């Protein structure tokens, strides 16, 4: 599964029949008889999804996070992790099965880096050999040479290196779920930017279900598949993909909260480049296959899907290089007349448009695809989907966060790689 | 030294086998009383500190009691214990253990409080149970402070042992008082004092070295964040 496809699952309703990885049902937390810190939150987090809880301080986002691994006990409501009610499990067993990363890092200063990383495997009673092997593997994953850093004490490491160890420690027992409480906000901006990007790379490989609390909407936009915006007492203002939240804020609170950040503005400034596009299989059709006929013949057969797998998409191009329509491999497979098997593609956007224009084209149309064309000749260049747009958008946010080094950084590479994979196979 | 019958410092009287036996016996008793009392005192203090952690309202009571006991002069305390314990070793040990509490309970409490909250939260979040967290995270991190307290408590106990002569178990305090009552026999008095100082220093260095060895991590700077 690629990163981009992760977005499809995240943006849609999730795969039908598959239970969410984490499910909160009307969860409340009341301290004493006073007011509610969390007043009835209901929300699902899908498998492999990275969800950010964002909101002003005191909005209940951290309380909600800590109720998932029962560092805070809910007053009422149900929390399911993997379909199991968390309150029915022993606390220590629950926590050993959930990775946990905190802002203050919290490494054990009296243990070596290697011993820190193997903390949970040690609790789970793994053999020493396996613990060590796993610790070294995790250190390599977070970009620390185990031979160089393994036997050092945390006090000998920089803040950024320490939080790498913190992430390695959280991942060591391979938990399916990871909770992160402002994991990068105590780091200096350079270390933070680097770690955020590397974490995205790690998540691309591991596909953990991650809940991350942050007060930084830019960070959420950069990292999240979906963002939950909280207001007082964990009232959920909006829960959607970053691009949807930016382009279509549900309430004035969201608009205000998001609008002040630079990334919101970057959507209007950043433009669409050739690297942002997907390039599915192309077929050239010729002779008499007009858009209108395709549209007529196709109408009423299948509903247009809301998401597509670019591996399955086939683009139909005319001899002049313009888009005729699109279909999927199952539809155009075999032999015979292609007529009637091609869906029309009305919405196109010229390359070089702003991301926000492209976004509104996608959201306005009823097609999950947008053809990107040359502005003058209308010749086809590639396609754009919401996930690809997210990727392009994040790249621009990443570039924004590190002026002058954005274009060739690690994230850009990893996105570009994913885009190619999606487009060419 | 031979010309002077009663020099300030000499090991002359130790040539006599009986005297030597007595001096060695006193020294060993001194060391034993100190070691046993501090060890038992540590166990008691640990239990009290854990109780205070669990029930914070007892802190005033426990520290206050330890404070009050500490303010009772040692000879008076030992004399008070005499009717209950007779002349056995139990008497001095009870007294010495009580004296250590003021320093040790505070040191253990301070030590546990000095543990970074982030390490405790991380341990909890990773799935450490209460006892395991205490023994493998909090206690090790509290050790630098606890060892500091242990040094003070031990050196102070070496001094307190002297007063246990009131219960006929004063270690070198015995030698000291015998020498003193024996017409101010300077040699014996000063040898006892030197012996006490040497014991105190030896304990101090021993605990210091052990402390450094078990808290090696503490010598390198703690990181900027944590």
In this prediction, residue B120 carries a pLDDT of 96
Q: Give the gap in angstroms from C-alpha B135 to the nearest C-alpha of chain A.
A: 12
In this prediction, residue A114 carries a pLDDT of 96
Separation CA A4–CA A421 (nearest Å):
10
pLDDT in 10s for each residue of chain B, 226 residues: 444 566 677 777 777 888 888 888 889 999 999 999 999 999 999 999 999 999 999 999 999 999 999 888 888 888 888 888 888 888 889 999 999 999 999 999 999 999 999 999 999 999 999 999 999 999 999 999 999 999 999 999 999 898 888 777 778 888 888 877 777 677 778 888 889 999 999 999 999 999 999 888 887 754 433 3
Q: Tokens at residue B203, please?
A: 């304990």
Does residue A40 sit in helix, strand or coil? strand
Q: Tokens at residue A141, please?
A: 């994953």
In this prediction, residue A78 carries a pLDDT of 95
Separation CA B161–CA B169 (nearest Å):
8
pLDDT one-digit tens code per residue, B139-197: 999 999 999 999 999 999 999 898 888 777 778 888 888 877 777 677 778 888 889 99
- Per CB-CB distance under 8 Å, the chain B contacts of A119 are 123, 126
With a cut of 70, list the residues of chain A below it in pLDDT. 1-17, 260-269, 286-306, 333-340, 364-366, 397-425
In angstroms, the first-to-last Cα distance of chain A is 13
pLDDT one-digit tens code per residue, A28-50: 999 888 888 999 999 999 999 99
Q: Give the gap in angstroms from C-alpha B142 to the nearest C-alpha of chain A.
A: 10
Q: Looking at the DSSP assignment, which residues form a beta bridge with residue A79? A: A24
Say yes or no for a CB contact (<8 Å) between B141 and A108. Answer: yes
Query: Could you tell me the CA-to-CA distances from B123 to A196, A300, A378, B126, B217 in Å, in that order?
Result: 24, 59, 60, 5, 18
Say yes or no for a CB contact (<8 Å) between A105 and B123. Answer: no
How many CA atoms lie within 13 Å of A301's alpha carbon, on the beta-carbon side?
A: 12
B117 interfacial to chain A (CB closer than 8 Å): yes
Nearest CA in chain A to B226: A104
Element of type H or E holding A196: helix A189-206
Indicate the Cα dihedral angle A310, A219, A215, A50, nearest 10°. 40
Q: Tokens at residue B135, please?
A: 């023994």
Average pLDDT over chain A, rounded to an integer: 81
What are B181-186's contacts with CB under 8 Å, separation 24+? B185/B6, B186/B6, B186/B7, B186/B8
B178 interfacial to chain A (CB closer than 8 Å): no
pLDDT one-digit tens code per residue, A145-198: 999 999 999 999 999 999 999 999 999 999 999 999 999 998 988 888 889 888
Q: Looking at the DSSP assignment, which residues form a beta bridge with residue A211? A: A51, A179
B67 interfacial to chain A (CB closer than 8 Å): no
Query: Which residue blocks in A97-144 are alpha helix, DSSP H?
Result: 113-117, 119-123, 128-141
Q: Give the gap in angstroms from C-alpha A407 to the nearest C-alpha of chain B.
A: 30
Say yes or no for a CB contact (<8 Å) between A71 and B125. Answer: yes
Nearest CA in chain A to B121: A106
Separation CA B186–CA B4 (nearest Å):
12
What contacts A57, CB < 8 A, 6 or more positions away?
A215
CA A412 to chain centre: 15
In the numeric block, the tokens 């919101």 are attached to: A264
If we measure between CA atoms, which residue out of A331, A345, A342 comes closest to residue A383? A345
Query: Which residue blocks in A236-343 are alpha helix, DSSP H?
Result: 242-247, 252-259, 262-269, 291-298, 329-332
Q: Tokens at residue A135, please?
A: 């610790």
| Nearest neighbour of A120 by CB, restricted to B127, B220, B223 | B127
Q: Give the gap in angstroms from C-alpha B128 to the nearest C-alpha of chain A.
A: 6
| Nearest neighbour of A92 by CB, restricted to B116, B127, B222 | B127
Does residue A326 sit in helix, strand or coil? strand
Separation CA A314–CA B2 (nearest Å):
114
| Nearest neighbour of B223 by CB, restricted to A111, A123, A155 | A155
Q: Name the pTM for this structure.
A: 0.72
In this prediction, residue A181 carries a pLDDT of 96
| Nearest neighbour of A108 by CB, restricted to B117, B119, B124 | B119
Does residue A98 sit in helix, strand or coil? strand
Nearest CA in chain A to B215: A110
In the numeric block, the tokens 């995270």 are attached to: B137
Angle between helix axes A3-11 and A189-206 (nearest 10 degrees) is 80
How many CA atoms lie within 13 Å of A345's alpha carbon, on the beta-carbon side?
A: 28
């Amino acid at each position: 599964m690629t990163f981009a496809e992760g977005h499809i699952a995240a943006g849609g309703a999730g795969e039908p029949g598959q239970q969410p990885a984490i499910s909160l049902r009307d969860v409340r937390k009341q301290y004493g008889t006073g007011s509610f810190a969390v007043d009835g939150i209901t929300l699902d987090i899908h498998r492999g999804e990275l969800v950010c809880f964002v909101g002003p301080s005191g909005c209940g986002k951290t309380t909600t996070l800590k109720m998932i691994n029962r560092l805070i006990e809910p007053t009422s409501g149900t929390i399911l992790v993997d379909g199991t009610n968390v309150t029915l499990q022993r606390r220590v067993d629950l926590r050993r099965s959930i990775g946990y990363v905190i802002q203050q890092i919290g490494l054990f200063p009296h243990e070596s880096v290697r011993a820190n990383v193997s903390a949970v495997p040690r609790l789970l009673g793994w053999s020493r050999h396996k613990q060590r092997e796993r610790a070294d593997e995790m250190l390599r994953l977070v970009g620390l040479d185990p031979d160089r850093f393994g036997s050092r004490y945390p006090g000998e490491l920089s803040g950024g290196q320490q939080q790498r160890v913190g992430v390695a420690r959280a991942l060591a027992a391979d938990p399916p779920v990871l909770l992160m409480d402002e994991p990068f906000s105590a780091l200096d901006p350079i270390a933070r930017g680097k770690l955020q990007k590397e974490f995205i790379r790690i998540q691309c490989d591991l596909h953990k279900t991650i809940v991350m609390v942050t007060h930084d909407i830019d960070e959420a936009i950069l990292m999240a598949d979906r963002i939950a915006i909280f207001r007082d007492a964990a009232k959920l203002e909006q829960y959607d993909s970053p691009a949807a939240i930016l382009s279509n804020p549900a309430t004035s609170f969201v608009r205000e909260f998001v609008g002040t950040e630079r990334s919101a503005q970057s959507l209007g400034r950043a433009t669409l480049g050739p690297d942002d596009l997907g390039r599915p299989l192309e077929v050239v059709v010729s002779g008499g296959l007009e858009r209108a006929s395709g549209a007529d013949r196709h109408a009423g057969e299948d509903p247009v899907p809301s998401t597509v797998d670019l591996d399955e998409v086939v683009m139909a191009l005319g001899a002049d290089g313009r888009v005729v329509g699109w279909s999927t491999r199952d539809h155009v497979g075999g032999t015979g007349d292609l007529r009637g098997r091609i869906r029309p593609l009305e919405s196109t956007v010229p390359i070089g448009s702003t991301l926000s224009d492209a976004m509104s084209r996608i959201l306005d149309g009823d097609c999950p695809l947008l053809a990107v064309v040359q502005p003058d000749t209308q010749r086809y260049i590639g396609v754009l989907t919401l996930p690809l747009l997210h990727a392009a958008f994040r790249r621009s946010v990443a570039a924004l966060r590190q002026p002058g080094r954005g274009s060739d950084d690690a994230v850009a590479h990893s996105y570009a790689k994913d885009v190619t994979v999606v487009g060419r196979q | 030294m031979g010309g002077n019958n009663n020099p300030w410092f000499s090991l002359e009287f130790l040539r006599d086998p009986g005297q030597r036996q007595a001096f060695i016996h006193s020294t060993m008793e001194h060391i034993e009383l100190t070691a046993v009392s501090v060890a038992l005192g540590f166990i008691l203090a640990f239990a009290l500190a854990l109780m205070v952690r669990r029930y914070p309202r007892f802190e005033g009571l426990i520290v206050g009691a330890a404070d009050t006991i500490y303010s009772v002069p040692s000879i008076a305390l030992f004399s008070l214990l005499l009717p209950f314990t007779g002349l056995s070793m139990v008497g001095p040990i009870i007294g010495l253990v009580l004296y250590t509490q003021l320093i040790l309970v505070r040191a253990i409490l301070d030590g546990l409080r000095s543990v970074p909250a982030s390490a405790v939260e991380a341990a909890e979040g990773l799935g450490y149970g209460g006892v395991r967290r205490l023994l493998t995270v909090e206690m090790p991190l509290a050790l630098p402070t606890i060892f500091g307290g242990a040094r003070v408590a031990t050196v102070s106990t070496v001094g307190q042992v002297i007063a246990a002569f009131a219960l006929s178990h004063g270690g070198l305090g015995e030698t000291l008082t015998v020498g003193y009552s024996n017409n101010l026999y300077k040699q014996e008095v000063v040898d006892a004092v030197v012996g006490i100082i040497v014991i105190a220093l030896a304990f101090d260095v021993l605990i210091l070295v052990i402390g450094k060895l078990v808290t090696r991590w503490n010598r390198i700077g703690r990181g900027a964040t944590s």
